[in-house]
Structure 1
Amino acid sequence: MGWSRTYFLTTDRLGFSQWNEADLALAMTLWGDPRVSSLIGGPFTPDEVGERLSREIEMMSAYKVQYWPVFSLQTHELVGCAGLRPYRSDEQIFEMGVHLRPDYWSQGFAQEAARAVIDFAFETLGVQGLFAGHHPENVASGRFLPRLGFRFTHEEFYPPTGLHHPSYRLMNPRALLVPRS
């Protein structure tokens, strides 16, 4: 059930698009799947998935970022979503997240999508840093984030799960360069 979309960002295997109001059925295949949503506060009802989709669309309108839908360039199927949302706006730090459909787990898609988001955040948007957290039971994310260069900083309470999640930061290497006098 794939179809071609317009992509604003691509990798070797993935195309990043934007959510729109017509994407509820697509969003259901991602956030409506309890295997995807169980570690981010789900499972979600169809109404909750619709609310999440609306929040992503509003995020794009307000901040020019969202957890963008990501598609296979080969099959045009939805792989998942990956993107940004404001975290500490005053410090130009955004939260990065990746949610994949189970058919795409353990194939390197999360790393490929995350690296594209990191490059986009630092090189195109010029953000100062990125924040990411994960459910304490999500061991794979605990290994994944450090491989991307994120460093553990603290435990942060995440209201949707009611738990403290391991939390990480990755600073923009360009932001860390001090001009020489």
Structure 2
Amino acid sequence: MWGLRKPFPELRTERFILRELENRDARELFKILSDDKVMYYYGSDPLVTVYEAKNVISYFKEQFTQGKAIRWAIADAQTNQLIGTIGFHNWLSQYHRAEIGFEVSQDYWQRGVASEAARAVLTYGFEEFALHRISALVAPENLASNALVQKLGFKAEGLLEDYAYSHGRFMDLTMYRMLASEWKG
């Protein structure tokens, strides 16, 4: 299990530090994960308390330790302020595959945050974690996320009808994939 053998990897991009989430991030994470617009396609309801954000941080740490997932904080390189998270989940190491997921504070939408962070995470996933396939599940009506994964080079494989349930409704999700041989960094 990779989580037990390695310290949490810190990545840097031009504008961001991708680092482990810490309890000090709880208030900022709560602001992000309590926003209805951010959470609309997330797959769970908005948080109600800062305590829930602390539980989310604990969950991400536990998943990393168990080698099941990794979730980086996306922090501003100048201020170290949390502005989102990104990472791999549904990790099946025996099949060399995982799913990528991310969310960014509404204050930073349309600024290339997810794109810049995703490029670093995808490169790390293929090169350091030896992933062969990375998937992304995106609601068809989530135009920004669909545009992002397509821009990154993901290929749509099909529509999963009524695959998720969130905000009192069933949601279709488009399955995208990127193979290691297709990643252009």
| 1:120 counterpart (117, 120, 124) | 124
The match for 1:169 is 177
Indicate if the aligned counterparts of 1:87 and 1:131 stay in contact, CA closer than 8 A. Answer: no
Give the percent of matched residue pairs that are identical in Structure 1 and Structure 2: 26
Give the superposition deviation at 1:114: 0.5
Query: What does residue range 141-156 of structure 1 map to in structure 2 within 5 Å?
Result: 141-156=145-160
Structure 1 unaligned runs (5+)? 1-5, 176-181
The separation in 1 between residues aligned to 2:63 and 2:159, in whole angstroms, is 25
Give the superposition deviation at 1:121: 0.1
TM-score, with structure 2 as normaliser: 0.81
Indicate if the aligned counterparts of 1:158 and 1:165 stay in contact, CA closer than 8 A. Answer: yes
The separation in 1 between residues aligned to 2:47 and 2:40, in whole angstroms, is 9
RMSD of aligned residue pairs (Cα, Å): 2.3
Query: What does residue range 12-27 of structure 1 map to in structure 2 within 5 Å?
Result: 12-27=14-29
Give the superposition deviation at 1:149: 1.0
Flag the structure with higher strand content.
2
Give the superposition deviation at 1:53: 2.6
The match for 1:42 is 45
Indicate if the aligned counterparts of 1:56 and 1:66 stay in contact, CA closer than 8 A. Answer: yes
3-state SS, counterpart of residue 20 of structure 2: coil
Give the superposition deviation at 1:167: 1.4
Change in Cα spacing, 1:10 to 1:65, as seen in structure 2 (3 Å) is: farther
Indicate if the aligned counterparts of 1:34 and 1:44 stay in contact, CA closer than 8 A. Answer: no
Q: Which amino acid aligns with 1:127?
A: L
Give the superposition deviation at 1:23: 3.4
Give the superposition deviation at 1:174: 8.1
The separation in 2 between residues aligned to 1:64 and 1:74, in whole angstroms, is 31
Moved more, 95-104 or 63-72: 63-72
The separation in 2 between residues aligned to 1:123 and 1:7, in whole angstroms, is 13
The size of the alignment, in residue pairs, is 170
The match for 1:67 is 71
| 1:106 counterpart (105, 110, 118) | 110
Indicate if the aligned counterparts of 1:98 and 1:113 stay in contact, CA closer than 8 A. Answer: no
